């Protein structure tokens, strides 16, 4: 108990609190700008931390990280353009709510779900980090393969009404992720002799192209249409009764995010899609998902923000960074004298607990700062549409090229933008493209590693462990359920077509 | 008949099938180990593209009347600016692209057009490249522009 109090005292210094406010606010703004996400935010703020003490510097960076994950939802809801890949699933229900004139409600639910997921994952981190780390170690390649297969099935759900087109876009995204060097053998794939393509295509340029640039083209095509105007951003927090009614969804999304974050190599975007897939099967209002249902927003936002806390579990407890962002955070920790790994809790327990306290304060700060941040976006989006679109073009270009500094990423963003516009006009849903690209690399590498472990015997996957077997049974049930509901719907439609109009 | 077949939805589905088939040939010619998953993915791609194409042919969506729009100009500008960045750096292609975007979105007053281009194009480039030190592609090796 003494150590927790000492850690809280470390976290509640004025320097740390100031760093949290500055970092979180900057993170929300950076996350809200298309193309700029956690990586760019951390890159901007990392050099400023060199002169700070450990807790203050980590408070600044954690603020930027958590703020940017939440900030991505603002533009996803307002203009159908996720600021970060983690917020791609937020567009499924967030933007339809905006089109229905429910902007305040959508932003309110996104903010509250982000806060709830973030705080719950901090509690999970404090209470169960060692246990969760031990359980996460049980997830080998085959279990991860089964989990990612289950998540991939959400492609069917997000492409309601055009399942075949959704699957096609999912495969396209999967194939995008395969361009470059093969992760196991190192052989070049789909590079067509171009050296620049050997490093592969990264997610951010594809998301920038698919959502931000294609949205500009769509808005340009309908620039005389009043319905295409950007609505005024406002925030209406849900009432206690509404929160109580959707508590199960909030808890489910947060636990899924908390658990996925603890698995190395998955990340917040994957967590959001997995959580959305589970909402499609388990939410009592699942028939409204994709049409502007807060449960979809809650699934996406609570899980992606829950990852921000739990992603520290493999980073701190095992010394394994889960993704690029946690790798950068780990680098910052090493710079400031914290050495993540199995000895960390024993050697620097006070510092670790101080980081946990900082995480909770960051989430509270995020809730408080959401209103002024959204106010800033309201001011920005009040500008004539030309300035907003010009700004989005610039931020998209900067965001696409800044992650790796590779001009190829800009060409990828532009080509994806053109392709996405054509696909949108043809009635193809774009979300599966991103789902395929997010989950594809993990699916492939876990399958290939699993095949190496089982000496090429795929049937061994089903009996490898209890966790894997349970996950494969869930996949079978999901497919059977989807086929059955499709068949029932077809029979209903047929019966309705056969009934003469009264 | 020809106009029905040239419907954008049919052309899109057909193009996707062709691309999938072309990539499949590349995948089947590549090494077995590395191309195991791509072959599987491309098989699903081609099968679904074929079914989508058949669906589009059966559905016979009404052909929309072609309208003149400057949208292809904006698309071409985005693509050209992206390609030019590799050789001209970030700033030089970004300025005309921002100016064109503003113009096409009806910011036509010269003062606002110039100010918007300078602030959004030049200002954001300066902020990220020189102030925040997020290095963007440059024309000169010194990194000045």
Residues in A touching B81 (Cβ below 8 Å)? 397, 414
Judged by CB atoms closer than 8 Å, whether chains meet at B26 and A190 is answered as: yes
Q: What is the pLDDT of residue B4?
A: 61
For residue B76, give its domain range. 69-144
Distance from CA of B131 to the nearest CA of A (A): 10
In total, how many domains does chain B have? 2
Residues in A touching B105 (Cβ below 8 Å)? 220, 223, 384-386, 389-390
* Residue after which a domain boundary falls, among B33, B67, B101: B67
* B29 shares a domain with B76: no
Of A258, A264, A302, A296, nearest to A277 (Cα)? A296
- Cα–Cα distance, A196 to A302 (Å, whole number): 37
* B4 shares a domain with B28: yes
- B positions 11-70 inside 8 Å of A (CB): 12-13, 16, 23, 26, 30-31, 33-38, 41-42, 44-45, 48-49, 51-52, 55, 69
* Residue after which a domain boundary falls, among B17, B47, B67: B67
Checking if the pLDDT of B3 tops 60, the result is no
Does the predicted interface ipTM exceed a cut of 0.85?
yes
Distance from CA of B37 to the nearest CA of A (A): 7
Determine how many CB atoms are found less than 10 A away from the CB of residue A162: 17
* B97 shares a domain with B52: no
- Cα–Cα distance, A330 to A340 (Å, whole number): 7
Question: How is chain A split into domains, by residue range?
Answer: 2-464
Per-residue confidence at B35, pLDDT binned at 50, 70, 90? very high
Determine how many CB atoms are found less than 10 A away from the CB of residue B133: 11
Judged by CB atoms closer than 8 Å, whether chains meet at B128 and A213 is answered as: no
* B73 shares a domain with B136: yes
Q: What is the pLDDT of residue B65?
A: 67
Checking if the pLDDT of B62 tops 50, the result is yes
Longest dimension (CA), chain B: 61
| pTM value surpassing 0.90 | no
* B94 shares a domain with B36: no
The phi, psi pair for A193, rounded to 5°, reads 80, 0
Q: List A189's β-bridge partners, or say none.
A: A180
* B90 shares a domain with B127: yes
Judged by CB atoms closer than 8 Å, whether chains meet at A185 and B23 is answered as: no
Q: Which residues of chain A have pLDDT under 50?
A: 501-502
* B108 shares a domain with B81: yes
Judged by CB atoms closer than 8 Å, whether chains meet at B41 and A178 is answered as: yes
* B115 shares a domain with B75: yes
* B42 shares a domain with B104: no
Residues in B touching A38 (Cβ below 8 Å)? none
* B101 shares a domain with B52: no
Judged by CB atoms closer than 8 Å, whether chains meet at A423 and B12 is answered as: yes
Q: What is the pLDDT of residue A259?
A: 84
* B43 shares a domain with B60: yes
Residues A152-180 pLDDT 10s: 887 877 776 788 999 999 999 999 999 99
The share of chain B scoring above pLDDT 90, in percent, equals 63
- Cα–Cα distance, A141 to A145 (Å, whole number): 6
Q: What is the pLDDT of residue A227?
A: 58
3-state secondary structure chain B: CHHHHCCHHHHHHHHHHHHHHHHHHHHHHCCCCCCHHHHHHHHHHHHHHHHHHHHHHHHCCCCCCCCCCCHHHHHHHHHHHHHHHHHHCCHHHHHHHHHHHHHHCCCCCHHHHHHHHHHHHHHHHHHHHHHCCCCCCCCCCCCCC
Q: What is the pLDDT of residue B64?
A: 65
- Cα–Cα distance, B36 to B28 (Å, whole number): 9
How would you class B47 by CB atoms within 10 Å of its CB: exposed for 0-12, middle for 13-18, buried for 19 or more?
middle
């Amino acid at each position: 108990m003494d150590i927790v109090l000492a850690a809280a005292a470390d976290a509640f210094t004025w320097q740390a609190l100031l760093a949290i406010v500055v970092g979180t606010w900057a993170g929300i703004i950076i996350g809200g700008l298309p193309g700029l996400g956690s990586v760019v935010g951390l890159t901007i703020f990392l050099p400023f931390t060199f002169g700070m003490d450990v807790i203050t510097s980590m408070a600044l960076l954690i603020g930027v990280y958590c703020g940017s994950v939440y900030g991505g939802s603002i533009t996803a809801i307002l203009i159908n353009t996720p600021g970060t890949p983690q917020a791609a699933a937020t567009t499924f229900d967030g933007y339809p709510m905006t089109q229905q004139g429910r902007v305040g409600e959508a932003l309110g639910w996104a903010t509250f779900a982000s806060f709830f997921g973030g705080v719950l994952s901090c509690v999970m981190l404090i209470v169960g980090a060692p246990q969760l780390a031990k359980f996460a170690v049980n997830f080998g390649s085959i279990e991860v393969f089964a989990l990612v297969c289950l998540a991939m099935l959400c492609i069917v759900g997000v492409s309601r009404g055009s399942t075949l087109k959704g699957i096609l876009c999912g495969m396209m995204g999967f194939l995008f992720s395969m361009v470059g060097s093969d992760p196991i053998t190192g052989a070049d794939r789909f590079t067509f002799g171009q050296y620049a393509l050997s490093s592969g295509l990264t997610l951010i340029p594809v998301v920038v192209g698919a959502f931000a640039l294609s949205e500009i083209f769509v808005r340009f095509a309908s620039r005389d249409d009043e319905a295409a105007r950007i609505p005024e951003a406002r925030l209406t927090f849900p009432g206690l009764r509404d929160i109580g009614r959707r508590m199960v969804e909030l808890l489910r999304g947060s636990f899924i995010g908390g658990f996925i974050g603890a698995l190395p190599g998955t990340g917040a975007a994957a967590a959001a899609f997995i959580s959305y897939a589970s909402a499609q099967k388990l939410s009592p209002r699942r028939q409204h998902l994709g049409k502007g249902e807060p449960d979809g927003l809650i699934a996406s936002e609570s899980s992606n923000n829950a990852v921000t806390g739990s992603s520290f579990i493999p980073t701190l407890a095992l010394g394994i960074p889960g993704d690029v962002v946690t790798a950068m955070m780990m680098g910052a920790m090493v710079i400031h004298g914290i050495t993540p790994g199995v000895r960390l809790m024993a050697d620097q327990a006070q510092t670790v607990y101080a980081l946990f306290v900082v995480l909770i304060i960051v989430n509270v700060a995020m809730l408080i700062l959401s209103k002024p941040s959204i106010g800033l976006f309201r001011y920005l989006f009040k500008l004539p549409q030309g300035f907003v679109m010009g700004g989005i073009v610039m931020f998209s270009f900067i965001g696409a090229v800044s992650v790796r500094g590779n001009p190829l990423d800009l060409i990828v963003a532009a080509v994806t933008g053109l392709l996405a516009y054509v696909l949108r006009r043809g009635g193809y849903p774009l979300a599966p493209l991103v789902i395929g690209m997010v989950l594809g690399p993990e699916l492939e590498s876990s399958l290939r590693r699993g095949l190496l472990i089982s000496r090429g015997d795929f049937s061994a996957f089903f009996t490898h462990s209890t966790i894997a077997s349970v996950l494969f049974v869930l996949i079978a049930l999901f497919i059977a359920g989807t086929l059955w509901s499709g068949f029932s719907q077809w029979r209903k439609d047929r019966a309705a077509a056969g009934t003469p109009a009264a | 008949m020809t106009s029905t077949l040239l419907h954008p939805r049919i052309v899109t589905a057909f193009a996707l099938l062709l691309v999938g088939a072309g990539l499949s040939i590349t995948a089947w010619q590549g090494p077995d180990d590395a191309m195991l998953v791509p072959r599987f993915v491309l098989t699903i791609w081609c099968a679904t593209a074929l079914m989508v194409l058949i669906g589009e042919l059966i559905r016979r969506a009404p052909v929309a009347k072609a309208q003149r729009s400057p949208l292809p100009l904006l698309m071409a500008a985005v693509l050209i600016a992206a390609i030019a960045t590799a050789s001209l750096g970030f700033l030089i292609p970004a300025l005309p692209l921002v100016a064109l975007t503003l113009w096409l979105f009806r910011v036509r007053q010269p003062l606002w057009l110039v100010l918007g281009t300078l602030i959004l194009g030049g200002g954001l480039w300066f902020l990220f490249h020189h102030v925040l030190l997020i290095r963007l592609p440059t024309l000169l090796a010194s990194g000045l522009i």
